[in-house]
């Protein structure tokens, strides 16, 4: 465990960083012990003597993050949360760049989640097929895949009508 630097050292580290001093030079000059301690000063983790929690300073390079030592379960969980937060930030940044409103972005995210789940299930079917020696399990109601969106809509409508009617027999065209 490293010691907490004094507020004076934290304030000096933050000032030197803002002035463009090289990271390793700041660590050596202030005797922080590691670049991780410097980045914790920059992130506002230590008090700087101002009486309020210091705001994080912008990083010079995108993607520079503090690496914590492996070992404790809490450290691992904290790293996983930070990784998830960075992923969410990236996704939000891409959504904002598209100019879509919030409802449409959420709808797109839900759609993507459904597609991912479907792909997982399809991969499971493929694994099951491979386990059977590559032989496909053929149900009585398997039909060839529709060739275009119009055929797909028609086939889905027919299946939904049959399902609602509680039958597997084709529904006449004039019904519905």
pLDDT attached to residue 8: 92
d(CA 39, CA 13): 9
pLDDT in tens, 149-159: 788 788 888 88
- Most confident by average pLDDT, 80-89, 139-148, 156-165: 156-165
Which residues are within 8 A (CB) of 65 and not within 5 positions of it... i.e. 6 or more apart?
39, 82, 86
CA angle 91, 93, 97 (to 5 degrees): 115
Single pTM value for the model: 0.36
Q: What angle do CA 35, 40, 46 make, to 5 degrees?
A: 130
- The domain ranges of the chain are 7-65, 68-99, 100-137, 139-176
Q: What is the pLDDT of residues 9-61, one digit of tens each?
A: 999 999 999 998 999 999 999 988 888 888 889 888 888 888 888 888 888 87
Tell me which DSSP letter residue 51 carries: S
């Amino acid at each position: 465990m490293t010691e907490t630097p004094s507020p004076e050292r934290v304030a000096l580290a933050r000032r030197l960083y803002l002035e463009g001093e090289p990271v390793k030079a700041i660590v050596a000059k202030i005797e922080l012990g590691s670049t991780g301690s410097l980045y914790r000063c920059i992130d506002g983790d230590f008090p700087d003597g101002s009486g309020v929690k210091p705001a994080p300073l912008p990083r010079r390079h995108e993607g520079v993050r503090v690496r914590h030592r492996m070992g404790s379960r809490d450290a691992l969980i904290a790293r996983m949360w930070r990784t998830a937060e960075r992923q969410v930030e990236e996704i939000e940044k891409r959504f904002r760049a598209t100019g879509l409103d919030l409802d449409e972005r959420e709808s797109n995210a839900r759609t993507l989640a459904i597609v991912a789940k479907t792909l997982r299930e399809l991969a499971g079917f493929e694994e099951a097929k491979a386990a059977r020696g590559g032989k496909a399990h053929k149900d009585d109601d398997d039909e060839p895949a529709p060739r275009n969106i119009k055929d797909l809509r028609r086939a889905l409508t027919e299946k939904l009508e049959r399902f609602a009617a509680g039958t597997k027999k084709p529904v006449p065209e004039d019904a519905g």
